[in-house]
Amino acid sequence: MPSFALWLILEATPRDPIGDPYLAVMELLTMVSALALLGLVIAIWCFADAGRRLPALTALAIGCLAVGLTMTVHFVQLTAIRQLWRAGHLTDYRLVWPSALFAVEYFAWDILVGLTLLSASFAIAGGPAPLPARRALLIGGMLCLAGVVGPLSGLMFLQNVAVLGYAVGLPIAGALTGRMFRATMPHSRAA
């Protein structure tokens, strides 16, 4: 889904289905992005203070579910759906709204990633140094959750709010969280 923002900028209007080679590349990039999200929440869980372990574990659990669902959707798209289409059993191989696979994808990225980012924001300790990372996670999560209005209402342009959350907010939050970890980790000259 993060690559969806790139597609919006480079290629198509919101009513056009995404086709290959863009779709295949976007699906692979989405799978890589999901794994990066998992790495982020694992890092937050590993370094969470004792008093913040519950929100860190919540972020990890929900994040694992989001990653598992989106990896499944894109694996099915890259394999079975294309083979069924080539065999003439489907009229199209592209993700087009409304569809069951797209609904699962929106559930994963709008709701589950939104909840993951919100939980992760509560898992980061207080103080001025972690404040930018906490805020970025919180804002990204709220944008993801707000974007679910699109699929719920059928007004799909509203889903672009979630795209801002995971395609812009999430990378910023990841960078700020990484910077926070680097600043708080003890450095050794021998290392």
Distance CA 61, CA 55 (A): 10
Residues in the chain: 191
- Write down the pLDDT at residue 93: 78
Nearest Cα residue to 23 out of 77, 76, 99, 89: 77
Nearest Cα residue to 19 out of 30, 11, 29: 11
Q: What is the pLDDT of residues 90-99, one digit of tens each?
A: 887 777 788 8
Distance CA 49, CA 40 (A): 16
- Write down the pLDDT at residue 63: 98
Nearest Cα residue to 30 out of 106, 84, 100: 106
Q: 4 falls in which pLDDT band (50, 70, 90)?
A: low
Q: Where are the domains of the chain?
A: 2-183
The type of residue at 164 is: L
User: Please, which contacts does 24-29 make with residues 24 or more away whose CB atoms are closer than 8 Å?
Assistant: 24/78, 27/3, 27/74, 27/77, 27/78, 28/74, 28/78, 29/2, 29/3
Average pLDDT (71-100) is 88
Q: What is the pLDDT of residues 144-157, one digit of tens each?
A: 999 999 999 999 99
Quote the mean pLDDT of the chain. 88
Distance CA 148, CA 103 (A): 10
